[in-house]
Amino acid sequence: MKRYLAVFLGILTAIGGFVDIGDLVTNAQVGARFGMSLAWVVPVGVLGICVFAEMAGRVAAVSHRPVFDLVRERLGPRVGFLNLAGSLAVTFLTFVAEIGGVALALQLVTSVHHVAWVPCVALLVGLVLWRAKFSAMENILGLLGLALVVFGIALWQLGPDWSGLAREAFTAAKPAGEQWTTYAYFAVALFGAAMTPYEVFFFSSGGVEERWTAKDIGVMRANVLIGFPLGGMLSLAIAGCAAVVFGPLGISVETLGQVGLPVAVALGKVGLAVVVVGFVAATFGAACETGLSVGYALAQYFGFQWGKYVRAREAAAFHVVLVAAVLLAAGILMTAVDPILVTEFSVVFSAVALPLTYFPILVVANDPQYLGRHVNGHVANVLGVGYLVLVGVASLAAIPLMIVTRMGQA
């Protein structure tokens, strides 16, 4: 019974934790501007994150060591450092965006400017990272993030032309007034939002935190293969709501308040209250995950004690890194930089860093020294290599498309 409860709780956490500030903003922007014509990117991205999260989780369960720890050992310090630099830069940028996202959500409730909320949010994030147990942090915030299911209810209540939405989704027809370069730019951004690098490192390190063994591989796979796809359906609901409400009016999404507006249109004040709870939980949970991922990456590469499964004084350097990351992120946000702009940069540069993240995972997952009989099978390798080609294309295209389209403004 305990094992089934772990599966159920893990799936719910994966659904609630899949959507962060990048998914919220990018899916809403794409829905408002392109309708459902880019919906195909979401399942492609979800399958990709499932493929590599399963590998990372299997590595942690069998070797009892996180992926980043093994990457340096298996590929050497130089390749490991390149992997560290690329992934860490994107993860920290995402961390800044998530803290800013919490502040924006609180601004919706209080009408107090988000910059004034940044010190409070940063303090609370720092306290949670320092004091909270890993399981409590992951499960409570993940479950609260399920409030975002209200987007699915809102889409149903809006009563859209379902056949029209399905036709857009399956034909992937670019709107007549848009350029192919802009279409491609948002496709890459949506792909980067679905396959954010920190997710696999957090998932792998979380497996060690929760002391997974080879017996837990089934539980891990259920969490990945059910939770992430259902989270992807939530992303499609966000895009669908934006497409129905904003698309016919030609309105673009530029603020977090606009992301939640379709829910208010469909469900009134109650719906708006629920979606704000979802915003706070999703962004705060992602802030904790990305903050931990910064500490995990540095600690695992340089070899000092890390994790929430030991007391803070036993992992002092790890916790100092967490506090330093919170202070630096808060300092950046206090300059009044727009968190939505930071989010847009983070999802694009996430696409740039994807090969640095996923190639080492594929290498380690094929090493019998670490996994024994649990190394990748034929299907996992075919999917892994296929996605490496895909992320390579996305990585090469991301910066040129960002420049040519002026971040989607062209």
Backbone φ, ψ for residue 196 (5° rounding): -55, 130
pTM for the structure as a whole: 0.91
Structure confidence at residue 115 (pLDDT): 95
> Rounded to whole angstroms, how far apart are CA atoms 90 and 68?
15
HEC profile of the chain: CHHHHHHHHHHHHHHHHHCCHHHHHHHHHHHHHHCCCCCCHHHHHHHHHHHHHHHHHHHHHHHCCCHHHHHHHHHCHHHHHHHHHHHHHHHHHHHHHHHHHHHHHHHHHHCCCHHHHHHHHHHHHHHHHHHCCHHHHHHHHHHHHHHHHHHHHHHHHHCCCHHHHHHHHHHCCCCCCCCHHHHHHHHHHHHHHHCCCHHHHHHHHHHHHCCCCHHHHHHHHHHHHHHHHHHHHHHHHHHHHHHHHCHHHCCCCCCHHHHHHHHHHHHHHHHHHHHHHHHHHHHHHHHHHHHHHHHHHHHHHHCCCCCCCCCHHHHHHHHHHHHHHHHHHHHHHCCCCCHHHHHHHHHHHHHHHHHHHHHHHHHHHCCHHHHHHHCCCHHHHHHHHHHHHHHHHHHHHHHHHHHHCCCCCC
| Mean pLDDT, contiguous 10-residue spans, the chain (410 residues) | 54 61 90 94 94 92 84 80 85 93 92 94 94 75 83 95 91 86 94 86 83 87 86 93 93 90 94 92 89 90 84 88 96 93 88 86 91 92 95 93 87
> Rounded to whole angstroms, how far apart are CA atoms 324 and 302?
17
> Rounded to whole angstroms, how far apart are CA atoms 327 and 323?
6
Structure confidence at residue 14 (pLDDT): 60
Contact 371, 365 (CB under 8 A): yes
| Domains and their CATH numbers in the chain | 2-404 (1.20.1740.10)
Amino acid 249 reads: L
Structure confidence at residue 17 (pLDDT): 56
Backbone φ, ψ for residue 191 (5° rounding): -65, -45
> Rounded to whole angstroms, how far apart are CA atoms 214 and 410?
50
